[in-house]
Amino acid sequence: MRRAIPPITEQTDDLKHRLQREHDGHKKPRLQMLYVLASGQAHTRQDVAQLLGVHRNTIGRWLARYASEGLDALLATYIPAGKPVSLAPAVLASIEQALHRAEGFASYEALRQWVRQTHGVELKAQHARHPGACALQGEAQGGPAESYQKSLRPFRCSRPPVRHTASG
Q: List pLDDT tens digits, range 45-87.
A: 999 999 999 999 999 999 999 999 999 999 997 777 777 667 7
pLDDT for 168 beyond 50:
no
- This prediction's pTM: 0.49
pLDDT for 21 beyond 50:
yes
| Alpha-carbon gap, residue 152 to 106, rounded angstroms | 8
Q: What is the DSSP string of 127-149?
A: GGGSGGGGGGG----S-HHHHHH
Q: What is the pLDDT of residue 25?
A: 87
pLDDT per residue over 101-157, tens digit each?
A: 888 788 888 888 898 899 888 876 544 444 444 434 333 333 444 444 444 444 455
